[in-house]
Structure 1
Amino acid sequence: MAQSDEQRLWTRDYFLAFVALVGAQLVFITLMTYMALYAVEQFQATDTGAGFAASSFVLGAALSRLAIGKYLDFIGRKRILLVALALYVVCSLLYPLVDQYSLLIVIRLVQGSGFGVISTTVATAVIDLIPAARLSEGLGYISLAGTLSNAVGPLASIQLSQNASSVWVFGFATLCALIALLAVLPMHIRERKPTQDEYDRRWRIRGSDLLDSNMLPVAIVALIASVGFAMVMTFLTPYLVSQNMADVASLFFLVWALAMLGVRLFAGRMHDRHGDNAVIPAALCSLALGLAVVAVADNAWHFVIAAILGGMGHGGVVPSLQAVGIRRTTTNRIPVATSTHYLALDSGIAIGPVALGFMIGVAGYPGLYLAAAGIVLLGVLVYWIAHGRHADGHRITRQ
């Protein structure tokens, strides 16, 4: 029997939002994996400077997320999305023209701010498109945009930079940004008019204006999971190089992406049907086990198993935690809640390598990954205390 219009998930606007996110994420991942190398080759940047050339994008995204959650509905969702995407295109075009490192950092910060606005606004718009009974499933499918980008972006940056030039890398990024902009133009985005009380308090800045207290407990769990993910993204390649297994890195990341893709095809539906605790604790344990296997792996097959476990865990837990947080809050707080979720993910990626990197000198890479596995397991306890013990007691209020 055909689904009713009220229960349809893959509507025209949902598909366009997916395309827009793929385009925006491809710009992020492609340039993230290339920028450190570009900074060294073009500006003779130090290791620290090269790293900041890449990570400054994430800093820009985090800063914009703090503001956009409060002011999204004052500015207008489609208006700010189109402005941010236009800025995204312009920044991609400017990279080949930059001749100073400081200007490169400015462009990275500005484009990162645009990305923070784009991802938060599209996610907020998508939540309005997803039937309430299929929220976790819908968020799981839309998060495949990031999975596809993680698979394609690094490959594009490596192949284009090695076989063509940096201009081709930036040209590819510009094309992806244009596709995202063109996808948004025909989208119908539901706007929400702020209440009079919200309008009266529009210039007041308090903690609750930047972060959603209902989302925050599960956002902390997302941050913990993101720390585990950051250990893989940041340190796996140098670890494998030190083990004379550099060729295994590409296989690992491919398997990780495929595992994320596979789990997101069914985990969201399982979450919606059987509740929060049916997916999240198991996904966190799977991610922790994957990190632990990395710590003891000594051949390619061990790393493949680790990629399957870690990819399934990370792929299952992130959209499910977002769905939990959205159900805990109210409709008028969705922009702030969404911003809080993505800010937690960004923070985990930024904080994790800095907080745990010292473990390499103390206990080597195996010690680093065992520590990361322990932190992710701690996330199970945090989740249980924060939400799991009274799961399903919160449901989003449609206002």
Structure 2
Amino acid sequence: MDKPNLWTKDFFIVSLTNFFLYFIYFLLVASITAFTADKFHASTSMSGLAAGIFIIGMLFGRLYSGKYIDLIGWKKMLYIGIIFSIITILLYFTVINLSILLIVRFLHGIGFGIASTATGTIVSSVIPDERRGEGTGYYALSTTIASAIGPFFGIFINQHMGFKMNFVVCTVIIVLSFLSSLFLKVPKMEFNQEQLNNMKGFKLSNFFELKALPISIVSIFIGIAYSSILSYLNSYAQQIHLVDVASFFFIVYSIATLVSRPFTGRLFDLKGENFVMYPTFIIFAIGLLMVSHVHHGAMLLLSAVFIGPGYGTYLSSAQAIAVKVSPHDRMGLATSTFFMFADFGAGFGPFLLGLLIPVIGFSNLYVIMAIVVLAAAILYYFLHGRNKGCVTSLREETSR
């Protein structure tokens, strides 16, 4: 039997829209800590907060969109998130002190959280169940590619054209994101009266999909570990005099992920999630250990070869698991639940790690992060991995 088509027009458009959103996010987060320290003479932890408070805002955005996305409509929620993001990006031009910057970063995070939850939900609806792992993996490449070229452009623009030029670039990109979303055709979810009644009211189950919680909890620790790379790699590279090489780290990261993605997504569908997940924990941890012992540029770039497939494969596979184990009519809530927990780790990570760095140094930080990733693998086993054989897709059950 022929496999259902994955590469539809809508799959491509929602991936492109998501790429634009994440390009802006990675462009700013990779350079905001250095900007905050240089412009406002902020401490390491406050610079980390400037990067991380965006993620905290994102949590609020996902909390709102997770509850209302199925009621309002996936495409309408996407428009709300993008338009709100356009407004907040323009507010960056008004920043004159650290307090205003933190407020704008928080508001921008809300808009991004709403929009990116919508794209994640929409793509889950257009990916065939038989190609869940493969499709989610390819969709996640939009984030991976953005994570490569976003930081590269952010650091490059900051060094050669000034930080305000980043705001100009972000304004252009967010408008392109809105224009691309206009061409989306999104399937409309139909709900019976019982489902609509269950969505109303202030209940925990209206804000979180409980079936997606186990894999989401694991993602907190993976998010903390990756935040050490995203927020502090540039500062670490400055300390060891490898800042020029560091600007290419995410390029290598992206290439390594691109090479591995065609295999990991298919293995997820054919062999099951455990066959993919456990190696990703190990590979990610190896990459972090390599970063902790970097003494020359080649080794820094080699670490990206491990961190790319490690973290990138984990994120797409974990998202696929969250959707797979959840009911079909709660797909939007499952998506927002997963990203809320992953964002929680990535959001608080820079602030918490910023408190550790002056005490333990960068090298020891990355050793500790490798241990955190391995501990997350053990947690994954107890929360999901050991029960994987007994778990059937609730999407399949509810579609019968």
- State how far apart, in whole Å, the 1-side matches of 2:233 and 2:297 are: 13
Q: Give the gaps of 5 or more residues in structure 1.
A: none
Report whether the alignment pairs 1:108 with 2:124. Answer: no
1:287·1:312 contact (CA, 8 Å) conserved in 2?
yes
Cα displacement string for residues 42-89 of structure 1 (whole angstroms, at most 9, x for unaligned residues): 666665554433332211111111121121111121112112212222
Give the structure 1 partner of residue 212 of structure 2. 215
Give the structure 2 partner of residue 258 of structure 1. 255
1:259·1:315 contact (CA, 8 Å) conserved in 2?
no
Matches within 5 A, 1:1-399: 7-39=4-36, 49-99=46-96, 101-357=98-354, 359-392=356-389, 393-395=391-393, 396-397=395-396, 398-399=398-399
Cα displacement string for residues 323-365 of structure 1 (whole angstroms, at most 9, x for unaligned residues): 1121111111111110111112211112334445555455433
CA gap of 1:61–1:241, structure 2 versus 1, over 3 A, is same
CA gap of 1:197–1:172, structure 2 versus 1, over 3 A, is same
Instruction: Look up the SS of the partner of 1:177 in the other structure.
Output: helix
The alpha carbon displacement at 1:200 in A equals 2.9
**Amino acid aligned to 1:334:** M
**Amino acid aligned to 1:258:** I
Moved more, 210-219 or 357-366: 357-366
TM-score by length of 2: 0.90
Cα displacement string for residues 2-52 of structure 1 (whole angstroms, at most 9, x for unaligned residues): x56xx1111000110011001111121222234345556666666555443
- State how far apart, in whole Å, the 2-side matches of 1:350 and 1:253 are: 19
- State how far apart, in whole Å, the 2-side matches of 1:113 and 1:266 are: 34
| Structure 1 vs Structure 2 CA RMSD | 2.4
**Amino acid aligned to 2:273:** D
TM-score by length of 1: 0.91
2:234·2:246 contact (CA, 8 Å) conserved in 1?
yes
Q: Give the gaps of 5 or more residues in structure 2.
A: none
Cα displacement string for residues 240-277 of structure 1 (whole angstroms, at most 9, x for unaligned residues): 33333333322333222222222223211111111111
Cα displacement string for residues 92-147 of structure 1 (whole angstroms, at most 9, x for unaligned residues): 23322444654443332222111101111111111110010111111111111111
Instruction: Look up the SS of the partner of 1:329 in the other structure.
Output: coil
1:228·1:287 contact (CA, 8 Å) conserved in 2?
no
Moved more, 57-66 or 186-195: 186-195
- State how far apart, in whole Å, the 2-side matches of 1:387 and 1:52 are: 32
The alpha carbon displacement at 1:187 in A equals 0.7
2:225·2:349 contact (CA, 8 Å) conserved in 1?
yes
CA gap of 1:40–1:353, structure 2 versus 1, over 3 A, is closer
Cα displacement string for residues 287-344 of structure 1 (whole angstroms, at most 9, x for unaligned residues): 0111122223333333233221121111111111111121111111111110111112
CA gap of 1:375–1:94, structure 2 versus 1, over 3 A, is closer
2:52·2:349 contact (CA, 8 Å) conserved in 1?
no
- State how far apart, in whole Å, the 2-side matches of 1:222 and 1:374 are: 15
Cα displacement string for residues 171-213 of structure 1 (whole angstroms, at most 9, x for unaligned residues): 2111111111111112111222343234334442222222221
With a CA cutoff of 8 Å and minimum separation of 6, indicate the structure with the bigger relative contact order. 2
1:65·1:343 contact (CA, 8 Å) conserved in 2?
yes
- State how far apart, in whole Å, the 1-side matches of 2:233 and 2:392 are: 38
Moved more, 41-50 or 84-93: 41-50
Instruction: Look up the SS of the partner of 2:247 in the other structure.
Output: helix
Q: Percent identity?
A: 29
- State how far apart, in whole Å, the 1-side matches of 2:268 and 2:193 are: 36
2:292·2:364 contact (CA, 8 Å) conserved in 1?
yes
CA gap of 1:170–1:362, structure 2 versus 1, over 3 A, is closer
The alpha carbon displacement at 1:368 in A equals 1.9
- State how far apart, in whole Å, the 2-side matches of 1:44 and 1:252 are: 26
Moved more, 54-63 or 122-131: 54-63
CA gap of 1:38–1:70, structure 2 versus 1, over 3 A, is same
1:17·1:126 contact (CA, 8 Å) conserved in 2?
yes
CA gap of 1:202–1:333, structure 2 versus 1, over 3 A, is closer
CA gap of 1:382–1:39, structure 2 versus 1, over 3 A, is closer
